[in-house]
A and B are shown apart, each in its own frame.
Chain A
Amino acid sequence: MSQIMLELLLRSLWETVLMTAASGAISLVFGLPLGLALVVTDRGGIAEQRWINRILGAVVNGFRSVPFIILLVALIPLTRLIVGTSIGTWAAIVPLAIAATPYYARIAEVSLREVDRGLIEAVRAMGGGRWAIIREVLVPEALSGIVAGFTVTLVTLVGASAMAGAIGAGGLGDLAIRYGYQRFETAVMVAVVAVLIVLVCGIQWIGDRLVTRLDRRA
């Protein structure tokens, strides 16, 4: 593989890592509170608000129903408003983050729901309010699941970022489509897939190690 191809591969890797990391971080910041909100406002939750829960649920489902490639295009006006342009790596981060946030919210919701209700009761019985329950019970007890879910989200984002080539964001997926597929350069395709495998395995490995360290239940 030529020097130029290698540089192209490295640049694409950087673009993918940037898109995944930035949109992943945003989805964590917004998705976790959203997941918490879905749990605590639900029936029997610590801040039961059925209407808010229904609205949040509907919004999350709405965003999750739209295919990512459509969302990418549909969000162009918003992207332009936030980033100033609708083309390039940074522009792709907006739709990626908006797609990943409700996705991650649902995953976090599942872990948060699994927290033993007896623990919430114990903290209520000792005089703890909602914040104490969230800080001392819900988040710490669900933390290993929250981290495991975040790992899944990051891996999904690596895949989704391949479509970001459609708006000129670059990245490994874009490289594979343009060089590997459209120009029949099998070597590029193989190289891209190999790099992606290493990237995904790396994310998963780090995630798994964190989960093992955080889980005190066994």
Chain B
Amino acid sequence: MTQHFAPIEGVSPPFDAALSETVVRIVDLKRRFGQTPAVDGVSLTVRKGEVLGIIGRSGAGKSTLIRCLNGLERPDSGQIFVEGREITGLGERELQPLRRRIGMIFQHFNLLSAKTVEENVALPLKIEGRPKSERLRRAAELLDLVGLADKAKAYPASLSGGQKQRVGIARALAAGPAVLLSDEATSALDPETTRSILALLKDINQKLGLTILLITHEMEVIRSIADRVAVIDAGRIVEEGPVWSTFADPRTEVTRSLLAGIRPQLPQAIAARLARTGREAILRVDIAGAAARRPLLSELATSISSRFRLIHGGIDNIQGEPVGTLFLGVATASGGVAEAVEFLNARNARVEVLGYVTDNA
């Protein structure tokens, strides 16, 4: 169960974080509300050009954490460095110019209803004191980037949720930030719109090389655009790593439970009938990287004496890496179960015997 996947030769991950410079560094950050710690000693590094996803259940402290990064929330202790400059301990006035280096998008968009789309996008520049002609030119550019050039003169109330978030993204980019913070930016959107907004963010990340730090409670969001994921629970980072390896080999219960929705699960009908003994053993097989590239099932069929069937599962592609979970039913009659476990273990697959069933279902 604790076997880890070996790195794969010849495949470079889409983003090589280790080679890049640091944009945001968080050191032992703590923030409590009354007696409850919301952020309890978080240390994290965000590197230039990467998309780092922070995932956690509601109340895990992710919102407090992200709001500390631009000083909307004051930490009790710990340090935050943005582009090498410490921001903790700065006053509101000193924070203002720094906040222009940090764009932010919100779950509920937070567009000003009394201003047109164009005025909303240009607002960060207005606050900065840039001349009007420059503001309008930049707003037009950004609206073009997010595909809303024709809505410049419209008011936010006339836009759909997805369009509003596009305006929010354009606005967050107006001042040319070093990092974009996304606070549950797709949580209020339907699945289709979510996909298009995530595609836009990924596109901006790749085209402009913009660093993105996003928080979410949906693994789907992490899978779509993050390079690295950090799982937060009760104010602590409990797990951190490249998305594909975290998906393939979740180390904590929290991560497993967050993954449950988008990874194959043993069908309920079978899970309910699992017993200590039976005619068929139910195996859960996790494979990733090299192990998932080989003709594993066909090799298994020729090397064990029992017959087996595929009950459920599949192979997903995350950051270009195959990550699979298969549920196999192996006949117990001729000692094939032990053979199967041994064979799969030898090929870097993680195997777990979940239980036994007797009648086929």
Chain A residues with CB under 8 Å of chain B are 116, 118-119, 121-129, 132, 136-137, 140-141, 143, 214, 216-218
Known interface pairs A124-B99, A127-B128, A129-B92; A118-B171 also in contact (CB < 8 Å): no
The 8 closest A-B pairs by CB, nearest first: A122-B110, A140-B114, A127-B99, A126-B124, A125-B104, A118-B110, A127-B100, A216-B155
Does the CB pair B157–A129 fall under 8 Å? Answer: no
Closest B residue to A144 by beta carbon equals B114
Known interface pairs A123-B127, A218-B157; A128-B96 also in contact (CB < 8 Å): yes
Does the CB pair A124–B72 fall under 8 Å? Answer: yes
In the assembled complex, the Cα of A205 lies from the Cα of B53 at a distance in Å of: 53
Does the CB pair A129–B96 fall under 8 Å? Answer: yes
A-B contact count (CB 8 A): 72
Partner of A128, one of B106, B110, B115, B127: B127
Closest B residue to A136 by beta carbon equals B123
> Closest Cβ of chain A: how far from B40's Cβ, in Å?
24
Partner of A122, one of B106, B128, B174: B106
In the assembled complex, the Cα of A34 lies from the Cα of B99 at a distance in Å of: 30
Does the CB pair A127–B175 fall under 8 Å? Answer: yes
Question: How many chain B residues have a CB neighbour from A under 8 Å?
Answer: 33
Known interface pairs A126-B127, A129-B93, A136-B126; A216-B113 also in contact (CB < 8 Å): yes
Partner of B114, one of A121, A123, A127, A143: A143
Q: Tell me whether B245 is interfacial, beta carbon within 8 Å.
A: no
Does the CB pair B99–A122 fall under 8 Å? Answer: no
Interface contacts beyond A123-B127, A127-B98, A127-B100: sample of 5 additional A-B pairs, CB < 8 Å, sorted by A: A121-B72, A126-B104, A127-B175, A140-B115, A141-B114
Does the CB pair B99–A126 fall under 8 Å? Answer: yes
In the assembled complex, the Cα of A125 lies from the Cα of B181 at a distance in Å of: 10
> Closest Cβ of chain B: how far from A44's Cβ, in Å?
13
Q: Tell me whether B70 is interfacial, beta carbon within 8 Å.
A: yes
In the assembled complex, the Cα of A216 lies from the Cα of B113 at a distance in Å of: 6
| Residues from chain B with Cβ under 8 Å of A118 in the complex | 106, 108, 110
| Residues from chain A with Cβ under 8 Å of B95 in the complex | 127
Does the CB pair A127–B113 fall under 8 Å? Answer: no
Closest B residue to A122 by beta carbon equals B110
> Closest Cβ of chain B: how far from A24's Cβ, in Å?
23
Known interface pairs A118-B108, A121-B110; A126-B171 also in contact (CB < 8 Å): yes
Does the CB pair B112–A127 fall under 8 Å? Answer: no
> Closest Cβ of chain A: how far from B87's Cβ, in Å?
13
Chain B positions 36 through 55: 1 when the CB is less than 8 Å from some CB of chain A, otherwise 0: 00000000000000000000
Known interface pairs A122-B104, A124-B99, A126-B100; A136-B112 also in contact (CB < 8 Å): yes
Chain B positions 103 through 127: 1 when the CB is less than 8 Å from some CB of chain A, otherwise 0: 1101010111111000000011011
In the assembled complex, the Cα of A214 lies from the Cα of B108 at a distance in Å of: 22
Q: Tell me whether B10 is interfacial, beta carbon within 8 Å.
A: no
In the assembled complex, the Cα of A118 lies from the Cα of B168 at a distance in Å of: 13
Does the CB pair A125–B108 fall under 8 Å? Answer: no
In the assembled complex, the Cα of A58 lies from the Cα of B93 at a distance in Å of: 31
Does the CB pair B72–A217 fall under 8 Å? Answer: no
In the assembled complex, the Cα of A123 lies from the Cα of B115 at a distance in Å of: 13
Enumerate B129-154 residues with CB–CB distance to A below 8 Å.
none
Enumerate B170-205 residues with CB–CB distance to A below 8 Å.
171-172, 174-175
Q: Which of A125, A129, A216 has the most CB of B within 10 A?
A: A125
Q: Tell me whether B340 is interfacial, beta carbon within 8 Å.
A: no
Does the CB pair A127–B96 fall under 8 Å? Answer: yes
Closest B residue to A133 by beta carbon equals B127
Q: Which of A122, A136, A141, A216 has the most CB of B within 10 A?
A: A122
In the assembled complex, the Cα of A214 lies from the Cα of B99 at a distance in Å of: 31
> Closest Cβ of chain B: how far from A147's Cβ, in Å?
12
| Residues from chain A with Cβ under 8 Å of B103 in the complex | 126
| Residues from chain A with Cβ under 8 Å of B156 in the complex | 216
> Closest Cβ of chain A: how far from B260's Cβ, in Å?
31
Q: Tell me whether B14 is interfacial, beta carbon within 8 Å.
A: no
> Closest Cβ of chain A: how far from B252's Cβ, in Å?
31
Known interface pairs A125-B70, A125-B99; A217-B157 also in contact (CB < 8 Å): yes
